[in-house]
Structure formats: structure tokens, C-alpha cells
């Protein structure tokens, strides 16, 4: 059984997230503010990594440390010196570069050599009996595929039968975007320094980072004074959005929601969205769908008000509703197109998902009171680009969607990104691979629409909804594992997270 939360050292991870290039540009200023040198920061990083490795692998007494040409390698030399003093057998394999080694890394390397430390070249044979590999090859500056000899060392480390701890980021991972442009280290653990980087939380990060740890190197007070460009969201954030209900409240105060969709063969999508809204606390939920779905939907969930979707019923329902959600199972036929056109003419707050997004891509418009929830394929159609372009920088893609379509954007995936036109960015650090099954997006639509109907502002409804969705799935995965998780499994678990 896999517990997603075991992939986070939750107590130590901050909620402020920064781009790696911002950290590189400002770490000197931060060090000066705190009265330390960059070399002292390197010493702190190496000592912190040594302490973590000892804690995680107390029985490992033969360490292989891969040192690159930059400051990431410098951290490795500091670790080596600490470990040697402790009696651990150290092998260092070093990459040399064409440019001069940074001053701090050179000092760390000299200190290792002056303490009788040995350094092997990148083409040397590795020992056969190492218990632990420490990855200090490439740091946060990589934006393209690793070149030789780095690429070969990365592949060799991945084949070697020992766990890998990466320093700052796994070598080969873009620390800004989470993209993996070529060979990459698959780490069991990653210890990141100074600040939490965006690329560690989204994109392909979860495939390669392993369990994530963090150390501010003593700069936490300075970082707290900076304005983070991205917020990390976890289940602990829910209390800022979800408050107890007033004892005398009634159903009319908790949102009248209209869900539109469910073409022939896809009635389950709109039913799941509607039921998710009820489970999240919506007061009244009306579903307009194909007539053939009505009997089964009412039999399964009689609390839903279900009617056939036609022009007259839709006009009355739009007038009745506080919030409209359109798209799950809608289809692209004339039936769905007519509904989308009629709903789009309304000025009611709206959530648009699934085929609603595909229709929006055909006839784009911009509005401020709408939430759109695309997966990467839908996002690519909305921006008229490839899925690869969307995934190459998910934060930028979400921002561009918000600028083009207005309102709030939820770009789904591992490390869901939420953005609005004002520049707000957040990453939902919840969820697990068990959610890779049909219907999960419909549940998310229902949760967010319900929160919007209960009075949360557009952005807060999206932020809170993404956290509820992923955190509920994490609870289920902890209990039963990830494989075989169904979207409908989330329904009975939702109330446990939306009641303070």
C-alpha cells in the first residue's frame, strides 16, 4: 500500500514556493541579510544532507557521491568530509566542465582534497558494494537534456542497486517547471535547500523526486519577508475556507446548482458531478440531461432534481440557479452545442469542464465569473498548441489560459495548478495515481461548483475544491491502496473533509 503523504516531510515543507531562477538571483542578498557567506550556506547544506542521510540510512557505511561542476557538487564535497569524519567509506565521482568551478564549490573541493580525500573521474569504475548514492551532479539551472558525461552517470546511478538521495533537485529535473527534458535521476529522497521550488511539485516531479525534504539553511526569516509567487496547498489549508454553518441555515442558503450534460452513453458523468455537489454541501442540485438517463439517475440518487435537457427547461433552470456547471458528458453534437450556447448567454457564475471546454475552444470567449477545469489535452485545445507545450511549463500554461479566458483556471494533473488573471498561482500538493481513472474530473467539477454555490469567491472555491478532491483520494489510498480507486469512492468520503 502506498501513502502519498509519505512522499512529503509535511511538517517541514513551507507553503511558499519560488521559482528556482529567483532563488539563484537572490540567494546572495539573502545570505548577506542573514550575515552569512555563500560558502557558509554550502557548509550548512552539506551538513544538513549528511544528517538526513544518516537518519534515513543508519546502516549505510559505504557512500558513493556524484559531484557535478557547480555548487551542487560543492554540497557533495561537504557531505563527503562530514561522512569521512564519521567513519563512513566515501567514493567521489566528479564531473569536470569547460568553465571554471564556482568559488564556493572550489573551496569545498579543496577542503576535501586537503583532508586526504580522493576523487575519481567520471569514467572510473564504480565500487560494487556501495550502500547509498548521493546525487550532486546537476542543480537548479538545468533547462535542457543533460549532456555527457552527466547523462551516462545519471543512467548508471539509476541502474545501481542502492538508494539515491538527491541534493536540491534530482539531476535532470527542471526545477522551475517540473519538466524532464532528457535523462533524470530517480531519487528515493530529495533534500531541497533555501526555498521550495515550483518544479518539485508539478509536472513530472512526483515520478523522480521521491520523498521531499526541505531545509532553509537558516534563511527562513528572510524568506518570510519575500512575496512568494506560488502558494502550496495542502489539507491543512481547508480551515481558511470552510467554516461551521449557522444553526438556523436552510437549503436555500447553500446554493441552487444547475448541472448540464450527460449525452447518450455518458449520463454517469453528470450524475457524479451532481452527487459530488450534494456531498460537498450544496442546498439544491438540478440536473438537465438526456431523458433516457432520468429514471436511473433518480433511482440512484433521488435527492437530485432531474429533467430532460431542452431549450425551455434550460431557460427556466438558468433563471432558477445561483451557479451553473456545464460539460460533463455533454458531447459535441448539436444537442450539446445548443445547450452551451444558451448557458454562455447567461451572466450567472459558471464552471466549465470536459466537452464544455472543447466547445469553448471552438468558440472562445472571455468572462470573469467562470472557472474552467481543463486537463492537459483540453488545455492544449484551448491554447491551440500541443500537450507537450502545455506540460513543458504548467504554471505558464495556467497563467496563459487565465489571461486568454478570464476567471479562474484549474489545470489538472499531478500537482494541479490554479491560476487567475491577476497573477495568483497555487499548486495543490495533494492527490495520488489512484485518481487516474474515469470520472475523477466530474467529481472535482461538482465539488468546486458546490463550494461556489455556498458562497466562496471564485478563486477560493477552486483552491478549496482542488484540495478537498485530492485529499479525499489520499485518505482512500491510505486505507485501500491506489489501484482500483473509483471516482464514486470519493463521494462518501467528501463530507469528512468539508465539515470543520
Q: What CATH number does residue 41 fall under? A: 3.40.50.10260
Domain total of the chain: 2
- Which residues span the domain enclosing 373? 237-496
Same domain, 213 and 241: no
Could you tell me the three cell numbers for 138?
A: 546537476
The distance from CA 69 to its chain's CA centroid, rounded to whole angstroms, is 30
Please, is 161 exposed, middle or buried when counting C-beta atoms within 10 Å of its C-beta (0-12, 13-18, 19+)? Answer: exposed
| Helices of type H across 137-232 | 150-159, 205-208, 220-224
Asked if residues 328 and 270 have their Cβ atoms less than 8 Å apart, the reply is yes
Same domain, 218 and 308: no
For the chain, how many residues are written?
A: 500
H or E, element range at 103:
helix 103-114
Q: What CATH number does residue 242 fall under? A: 3.40.1190.20
Same domain, 167 and 289: no
Same domain, 10 and 119: yes
Using alpha carbons, select from 241, 173, 251, 256 the residue that is nearest to residue 210.
173
Q: What is the pTM of this model?
A: 0.94
Tell me the C-alpha distance between 494 and 273, whole Å.
13
Tell me the C-alpha distance between 27 and 17, whole Å.
15
Tell me the C-alpha distance between 481 and 475, whole Å.
9
DSSP state of 147: P
Which strand ranges, in their side-by-side order, compose the sheet holding 211-215? 120-121, 89-94, 62-67, 132-136, 164-167, 189-193, 211-215
Query: What are the pLDDT digits (tens) for 310-360?
Result: 999 999 999 999 999 999 999 999 999 999 999 999 999 999 999 999 999
Tell me the C-alpha distance between 69 and 98, whole Å.
9
Asked if residues 365 and 344 have their Cβ atoms less than 8 Å apart, the reply is yes
pLDDT at position 9 is: 54
Same domain, 253 and 133: no
pLDDT at position 143 is: 85
Burial 332-355 (b: 16+ CB within 10 A, else e): eeeebbebbebbbeeeebbbbbbb
Using alpha carbons, select from 297, 282, 305, 183 the residue that is nearest to residue 495.
282
DSSP state of 254: G
pLDDT at position 32 is: 93
Same domain, 93 and 110: yes
Q: What would you measure as the largest C-alpha separation in the chain, in angstroms?
A: 85
Same domain, 366 and 432: yes
Query: Given 169, 196, 228, which residue is the final one in a domain?
Result: 228
Same domain, 212 and 241: no
Same domain, 207 and 292: no
pLDDT tens digits, the chain, 500 residues: what are they? Answer: 334 444 655 457 999 999 999 999 999 999 999 999 999 999 999 999 999 999 999 999 999 999 999 999 999 999 999 999 999 999 999 987 677 889 999 999 999 999 889 999 999 999 999 999 999 999 898 889 999 999 999 999 999 999 999 999 999 999 999 999 999 999 999 999 999 999 999 999 999 999 999 999 999 999 999 999 999 999 999 999 999 888 988 898 899 999 999 999 999 999 999 999 999 999 999 999 999 999 999 999 999 999 999 999 999 999 999 999 999 999 999 999 999 999 999 999 999 999 999 999 999 999 999 999 999 999 999 999 999 999 999 999 999 999 999 999 999 999 999 999 999 999 999 999 999 999 999 999 999 999 999 999 999 999 999 999 999 999 999 999 999 999 999 999 999 999 98
Query: Given 228, 258, 278, which residue is the final one in a domain?
Result: 228
Tell me the C-alpha distance between 346 and 214, whole Å.
47
Tell me the C-alpha distance between 299 and 292, whole Å.
13
Query: Given 199, 228, 257, which residue is the final one in a domain?
Result: 228
Using alpha carbons, select from 196, 224, 175 the residue that is nearest to residue 34.
224
pLDDT at position 99 is: 74
Residue 93's beta-bridge partner residues? 66, 120
Same domain, 328 and 360: yes
Same domain, 192 and 98: yes
Same domain, 119 and 246: no
- Angle at CA 184, nearest 5°, toward 201 and 69? 105
Asked if residues 19 and 176 have their Cβ atoms less than 8 Å apart, the reply is yes
Asked if residues 356 and 330 have their Cβ atoms less than 8 Å apart, the reply is yes
Amino acid at each position: 500500500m502506498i501513502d502519498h503523504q509519505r512522499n512529503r516531510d509535511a511538517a517541514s515543507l513551507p507553503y511558499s514556493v519560488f521559482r528556482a531562477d529567483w532563488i539563484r538571483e537572490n540567494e546572495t542578498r539573502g545570505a548577506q541579510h542573514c550575515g552569512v557567506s555563500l560558502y557558509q550556506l554550502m557548509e550548512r547544506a552539506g551538513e544538513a544532507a549528511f544528517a538526513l542521510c544518516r537518519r534515513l540510512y543508519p546502516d549505510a557505511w559505504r557512500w558513493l557521491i556524484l559531484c557535478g561542476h557547480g555548487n551542487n557538487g560543492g554540497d557533495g564535497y561537504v557531505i563527503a568530509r562530514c561522512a569521512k569524519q564519521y567513519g563512513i567509506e566515501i567514493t567521489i565521482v566528479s564531473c569536470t566542465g569547460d568553465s571554471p568551478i564556482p568559488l564556493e564549490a572550489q573551496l569545498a573541493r579543496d577542503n576535501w582534497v586537503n583532508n586526504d580525500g580522493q576523487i575519481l573521474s567520471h569514467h572510473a569504475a564504480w565500487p560494487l558494494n556501495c550502500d547509498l548514492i548521493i546525487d550532486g551532479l546537476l542543480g537548479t539551472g538545468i533547462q535542457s537534456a543533460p549532456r555527457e558525461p552527466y547523462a551516462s552517470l545519471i543512467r548508471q546511478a539509476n541502474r545501481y542497486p542502492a538508494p539515491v538521495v538527491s541534493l536540491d533537485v534530482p539531476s535532470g529535473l527542471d526545477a522551475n517547471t517540473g519538466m524532464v527534458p532528457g535523462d533524470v535521476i530517480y531519487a528515493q529522497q530529495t533534500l531541497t535547500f533555501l526555498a521550495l521550488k515550483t518544479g518539485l511539485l508539478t509536472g513530472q516531479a512526483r515520478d523522480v523526486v521521491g520523498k521531499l525534504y526541505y531545509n532553509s539553511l537558516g534563511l527562513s526569516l528572510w524568506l518570510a519577508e519575500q512575496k512568494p509567487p506560488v502558494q502550496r496547498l495542502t489539507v491543512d489549508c481547508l480551515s481558511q475556507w470552510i467554516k461551521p454553518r449557522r444553526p438556523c441555515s436552510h437549503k436555500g442558503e447553500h446554493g441552487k446548482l444547475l448541472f448540464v450534460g450527460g449525452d447518450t452513453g455518458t449520463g454517469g458523468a453528470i450524475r457524479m458531478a451532481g452527487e459530488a455537489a450534494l456531498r460537498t454541501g450544496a442546498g439544491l442540485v438540478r440536473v438537465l440531461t438526456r431523458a433516457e438517463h432520468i429514471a436511473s439517475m433518480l433511482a440512484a440518487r433521488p435527492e437530485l432534481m432531474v429533467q430532460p435537457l431542452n431549450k425551455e427547461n434550460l431557460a427556466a433552470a438558468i433563471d432558477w440557479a445561483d451557479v451553473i456547471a456545464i460539460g460533463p458528458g455533454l458531447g459535441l453534437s448539436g444537442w450539446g452545442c445548443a445547450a452551451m450556447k444558451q448557458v454562455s448567454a447567461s451572466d450567472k457564475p459558471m464552471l466549465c469542464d470536459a466537452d464544455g471546454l472543447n466547445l469553448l475552444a471552438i468558440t472562445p470567449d472571455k468572462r470573469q465569473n467562470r472557472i474552467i477545469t481543463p486537463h492537459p489535452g483540453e488545455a492544449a485545445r484551448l491554447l491551440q498548441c500541443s500537450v507537450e507545450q502545455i506540460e513543458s511549463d504548467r504554471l505558464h500554461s495556467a497563467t496563459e489560459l487565465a489571461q486568454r479566458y478570464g476567471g479562474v483556471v484549474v489545470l489538472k494533473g499531478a500537482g494541479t495548478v490554479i491560476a487567475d488573471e491577476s497573477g495568483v498561482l497555487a499548486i495543490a500538493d495533494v492527490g495520488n495515481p489512484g485518481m487516474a481513472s474515469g470520472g475523477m474530473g466530474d467529481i472535482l467539477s461538482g465539488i468546486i461548483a458546490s463550494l461556489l454555490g455556498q458562497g466562496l469567491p471564485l478563486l477560493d472555491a477552486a483552491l478549496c475544491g482542488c484540495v478537498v478532491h485530492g485529499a479525499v483520494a489520499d485518505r482512500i489510498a491510505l486505507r485501500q491502496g491506489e489501484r482500483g480507486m473509483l471516482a464514486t469512492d470519493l463521494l462518501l468520503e467528501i463530507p469528512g473533509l468539508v465539515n470543520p
